[in-house]
Amino acid sequence: MASRALSPTSAPLDRELARHEAVIERAVETFGLPLHVVFKDKVERSANGYREVLRRLYPNSSILFAVKSNPCRGAVRTAARLGLGADAASEHELRAALEEGIPAERIVANGNAKTSQYVEAIVSSGALSSVDNADELEELSRAATSRHVRTPILIRFRGMPLSGFTADDQTTAAAWTKFGFSIDEAGEVFARVAGAPGLRFVGISAHVGTQIADPVAYELLTVHMVALARRAVASGLALSAIDLGGGYPVSFVTEAEWAGFQAQLLDRLRAPVRPGASVTWTDLPMGYGGAEPEADSPTWVGKAYWSAHPASAMLERALAFGHPDGKSTVQHLADLGSPTLIVEPGRSLMATSGVTLAEVRGTKSVLGNLVVSLDLGITNHGTNLITNDIFPVAILPRKADDVPVDAFLAGRLCFSGDMISKVKVRLNRAPRVGERAVVYLTGAYSADHFASNSCGFPLPAKVAVDGAGRLDVWRRPQRFEDVFGPVGEA
Ligand SMILES: Cc1ncc(COP(=O)(O)O)c(C=O)c1O
């Protein structure tokens, strides 16, 4: 990355690390490394950002914490204390949200393959189901009818022109996705809902994908959602909610670092001969994959790691956006009778609130590139399994005479793809074995998304620190026996 200055994206987390140094050191002594740490004050600040935008622009709204971004009781309890609802992705997340006191009417149950247990839990709790497909509609109708209730539903849609705004595998409202009904089926689905017993139509939902850095995606989304809402009303349905999903982005790097990285990668793809000058592992083209590097100005397609409109600023853009007819999204919502606006942020609530600490276990040179190996597997920094993400990293403590170096970061699984960073990141210095590394902005998805016992590793601890320095254990570290069982047990 281009800038040698302390990155502003990691500086706020450095301040939290310094402020809570003593309690974090005690946690390291107790639980060992690697260790995931979440700062609750920062979660609250992110939630307040959404609250403030909605209070100002569209008060009839509900902010749901996307539990999948940090699925554990501590995170759900924190969300409940902050007055947030929950976006649940399973019967388990739904149960945790209910047990932590989040009211059913502030829970949306998502999922493309809901089990009978999940459907039963949705119907019996009164949570809103974001209905994915016709089979689910039927099952919900049957389950609700047999309980003599009408279960509240949103219809989830895909098929909008929303591809290319993030990684393909994280794109969830375009044509190629397993989620939701196609917008082409809207008329048929609305008619079916109107005639089905046991269902109470509440509204419509969609989720563009995650880390949506370009406001154009939300502009297109709102145009399509307003059109779908009008169609629902024209079909005779009473619409009282519109769910725009999550996806609000985080700036993992600064604007200058992002531009510098893109320029360096392009140079490298155009002249990949100089040893040691790789910018990405195996010279991955990342967002330039579909472009001809020789083109005068190839455009980056896919996931971006910086946004001019992070988190709630993106929601503000979406609400203030002027539609082709000149009316803003807010005005269109008013025309629709001011339905409740639901938003489901996950990454943007949690990512900037967390760090992961790990020990350096060695360094080497691969084709002239410095590789630093950490005692951390990609299973515990798992978003990299879907895309080659960029996270700032530093060696602690920072020292006045640090000389920055660029390095790839390797994990410790027996799997060549186990790279903690396939993007060469700027470290404040070349580390020695036993020094501590911090990976910043890991509060969302990193610790849990693909956590597993690969290579026999127990899962590490996840702790949270509040403003007063009190420590909560969000996940106890697994022990050897949790993975292998006790001696003598088959
Ligand atoms: C339906 C739904 N809502 C919200 C989210 C949260 O997205 P993000 O963490 O990008 O805000 C997801 C994530 O996959 C999702 O599937």
Quote the ligand 1 centre to 89 CA distance (angstroms).
Answer: 9
Task: Answer yes or no: is the C-beta of 207 below 6 A from any ligand 1 atom.
Answer: yes
Residues 103, 467: Cα–Cα separation, whole Å? 26
Res 292: pLDDT: 67
Task: Answer yes or no: is the C-beta of 157 below 6 A from any ligand 1 atom.
Answer: no
| Nearest one of 82, 92, 90 to 109, comparing CA atoms | 90
Establish whether domains 11-39+352-484 and 41-250+303-347 are of one fold.
no
Quote the ligand 1 centre to 239 CA distance (angstroms).
Answer: 23
Res 297: pLDDT: 77
Task: Answer yes or no: is the C-beta of 344 below 6 A from any ligand 1 atom.
Answer: yes
Task: Answer yes or no: is the C-beta of 87 below 6 A from any ligand 1 atom.
Answer: yes
Quote the ligand 1 centre to 19 CA distance (angstroms).
Answer: 31
Token pair in block for residue 21: 């140094």
Question: For residues 68 and 170, is the Cβ–Cβ distance under 8 A?
Answer: no
Res 385: pLDDT: 87
Q: Using CA atoms in the order 38, 42, 43, 44, what is the torsion angle rounded to 10 degrees?
A: 140
Quote the ligand 1 centre to 475 CA distance (angstroms).
Answer: 22
Quote the ligand 1 centre to 343 CA distance (angstroms).
Answer: 9
Task: Answer yes or no: is the C-beta of 352 below 6 A from any ligand 1 atom.
Answer: no
Apex 105 CA angle, 100 and 106, nearest 5 = 60
Residues 221, 206: Cα–Cα separation, whole Å? 8
Instruction: Look up residue 24 and give its DSSP letter.
Output: H
SS3 for 334?
A: helix
Task: Answer yes or no: is the C-beta of 247 below 6 A from any ligand 1 atom.
Answer: yes
Quote the ligand 1 centre to 369 CA distance (angstroms).
Answer: 35
Question: For residues 333 and 229, is the Cβ–Cβ distance under 8 A?
Answer: no
Considering the domain delimited by 11-39+352-484, tell me its CATH architecture: Beta Barrel (2.40)
Name the class of domain 41-250+303-347.
Answer: alpha beta
Q: Residues in the chain, how many? A: 490
Residue carrying the six token digits 């939300």: 218
Res 378: pLDDT: 94
Task: Answer yes or no: is the C-beta of 310 below 6 A from any ligand 1 atom.
Answer: no
Q: Pick the atom of ligand 1 nearest to 69's CA.
A: 9
Residue 409 dihedral angles phi and psi, to the nearest 5°: -120, 125
Task: Answer yes or no: is the C-beta of 347 below 6 A from any ligand 1 atom.
Answer: yes
Quote the ligand 1 centre to 484 CA distance (angstroms).
Answer: 33
Among 43, 50, 69, residue to substitute to test ligand 1 (most atoms within 8 Å of Cβ): 69
Token pair in block for residue 155: 């219809």
DSSP line for 26-82: HHHHHH-SSEEEEEHHHHHHHHHHHHHHHHHH--SEEEEEEGGGS-SHHHHHHHHHT
Apex 281 CA angle, 280 and 287, nearest 5 = 45
Report the chain's mean pLDDT, rounded to a whole number: 95
- Pick out the chain residues at pLDDT < 70: 1-7, 291-294, 489-490
For residue 272, what are the contacts with CB-CB under 8 A and spacing of at least 6? 278, 283
Task: Answer yes or no: is the C-beta of 312 below 6 A from any ligand 1 atom.
Answer: no
Q: Which tens digits make up the pLDDT trace of 383-441?
A: 888 899 999 999 999 999 999 999 999 999 999 999 999 999 999 999 999 999 999 99
Q: Pick the atom of ligand 1 nearest to 347's CA.
A: 9
Quote the ligand 1 centre to 345 CA distance (angstroms).
Answer: 6
| pTM for the full predicted model | 0.96
Q: Which tens digits make up the pLDDT trace of 4-26?
A: 445 678 999 999 999 999 999 99
Task: Answer yes or no: is the C-beta of 66 below 6 A from any ligand 1 atom.
Answer: yes
Residue carrying the six token digits 């350096």: 360
Domains in the chain: boundaries: 11-39+352-484, 41-250+303-347
Q: What's the one-letter identity of residue 103?
A: P
For residue 404, what are the contacts with CB-CB under 8 A and spacing of at least 6? 4, 426, 427, 428, 429
For residue 59, what are the contacts with CB-CB under 8 A and spacing of at least 6? none
Res 6: pLDDT: 52
For residue 325, what are the contacts with CB-CB under 8 A and spacing of at least 6? none
| Nearest one of 3, 5, 19 to 355, comparing CA atoms | 19
Alpha carbon nearest to ligand 1 atom 5, residue: 246
Residues 231, 237: Cα–Cα separation, whole Å? 9
Quote the ligand 1 centre to 395 CA distance (angstroms).
Answer: 31
Task: Answer yes or no: is the C-beta of 348 below 6 A from any ligand 1 atom.
Answer: yes
Alpha carbon nearest to ligand 1 atom 12, residue: 246
